[in-house]
Amino acid sequence: MANLLWLQSGGCGGCSMSLLAAEGPDLITTLESAGIHLLWHPSLSEQAGSEVRTLLQQILDGEITLDLLCIEGSLMRGPNGSGRFHLFGGTGVAMIEWVRQLAARARYTLAIGSCAAFGGITSAADNHTDATGLQFEGELRGGLLGSDYRSGGELPVVNVAGCPVHPNWVTETLIELALGEGAPERLDPLARPRLYADQLVHHGCTRNEYYEYKASAEQLGQQGCLMEYLGCLGTQAHGDCNTRPWNGEGSCTRGGYACINCTAPEFEAPRHAFMETPKIAGIPVGLPTDMPKAWFVALASLSKAATPQRLRENARSEQLIYPPTPQKRKQ
């Protein structure tokens, strides 16, 4: 059995809430069948108060092995390096101090969500709580544990980034590690599991036909592509949100609003409004991944010229105006 300990700090708890919605099978069954034993999770476990304090001490004393340490929420070092913005309840000790000590004992350390990975929402604006990720501070390596940190299993912190995470991103990463299949080459350059980070949100987007013809929605709620006007970063964002949807059939773009690239460091502080596309000379500043600018401009103007009426009109409407015309067999 692999022992798992889950702690929360400067976040919203939303990654845990998302995880509880794991399906096929449910979370408890998934963990059980992967041989993962939950030492403690703040939403699920019976133990409270002194029982938890005793458990943590036993881990630090080496009496209980810690295989998987999951940290959710950013690590707040303020004010003045004291960590006082979060003293772990009942202990009087800053959560950053607990995390430093426990990470030294862990076989694998996982950052659950973009807060724990990179600092996330809590580090937005002027970051007055001095929030950071475990091993990244925004795009820079370092963070709470430092860039040289390796867990007992010789891995850096595994950044299961997302705001929130998809339940399967967490369960599959845990299973991979529990099976002993974790390896540095299974992580992308931001230490995100390639299990889900090797895809783009654009893949499988239901608005793809609109994207192909640059038939764009101009207002929220319309059916067209969200990239040109409404801030969508799906062509740049890493994640399999549209090939493996959320809560049954959903994703951000299916929900009618932009992908805000929540699996990336510093997504929380764009230099523009989230739901507007910044442009220079009419061309979006962020181009699709691996796309040369000149080609994008050429293809976009060509495809705009070729946009069928069906897509041009439907793109700017909440409801379908023109259904696709049935193809006739050749006479």
Judged by CB under 8 A, which stretch of 16-24, 168-176, 190-198, 288-296 contacts another protein? 16-24
Torsion of CA 168, 173, 178, 182, to 10 degrees: 160
52 binds another protein (CB under 8 A): yes
Pattern of binders to another protein over 222-261, x per CB under 8 A? Answer: -----------------------xxxxxxxxxxxxxx-x-
- Report yes or no: 87 and 76 within 8 Å, Cβ to Cβ: no
- Report yes or no: 123 and 117 within 8 Å, Cβ to Cβ: no
- Residue 17 or 179: which CB sits closer to another protein? 17
In the complex, the smallest distance separating the C-beta of residue 209 from another protein, rounded to whole angstroms, is 17
From candidates 60, 64, 87, 195, binder to another protein by CB under 8 A? 87
One-letter amino acid at 112 equals I
From candidates 44, 104, 287, 300, binder to another protein by CB under 8 A? 44
Pattern of binders to another protein over 179-218, x per CB under 8 A? Answer: ----------------------------------------
From 79, 163, 75, select the one nearest 121 (Cα to Cα): 163
From candidates 2, 4, 22, 116, binder to another protein by CB under 8 A? 22
In the complex, the smallest distance separating the C-beta of residue 203 from another protein, rounded to whole angstroms, is 16
- Report yes or no: 226 and 217 within 8 Å, Cβ to Cβ: yes
Which 3 state secondary structure label does DSSP give 57?
helix
42 binds another protein (CB under 8 A): yes
164 binds another protein (CB under 8 A): yes
- Residue 123 or 135: which CB sits closer to another protein? 123
- Residue 48 or 179: which CB sits closer to another protein? 48
Dihedral angle sign, alpha carbons of residues 205, 206, 207, 211: positive
- Residue 50 or 327: which CB sits closer to another protein? 50
324 binds another protein (CB under 8 A): no
45 binds another protein (CB under 8 A): yes
321 binds another protein (CB under 8 A): no
Contacts of 136 (CB under 8 A, 6+ apart): 117, 118, 119, 142, 143, 159, 190, 191, 265
273 binds another protein (CB under 8 A): yes
8 binds another protein (CB under 8 A): yes
* 25 cis-preceded (ω within 30 degrees of 0): yes
How many beta carbons lie within 10 A of that of residue 198, not counting itself? 13
From 73, 101, 97, select the one nearest 84 (Cα to Cα): 97
Report the site for another protein in 102-121 (rule: CB under 8 A). Answer: 121
In the complex, the smallest distance separating the C-beta of residue 31 from another protein, rounded to whole angstroms, is 9
* Interface size with another protein, residues (CB under 8 A): 82
Report the site for another protein in 288-317 (rule: CB under 8 A). Answer: none
From 164, 157, 210, 145, select the one nearest 19 (Cα to Cα): 164
Q: Angle at CA 191, nearest 5°, toward 211 and 243?
A: 35
28 binds another protein (CB under 8 A): yes
**Helices 95-103 and 50-60: angle between axes, nearest 10 degrees:** 40
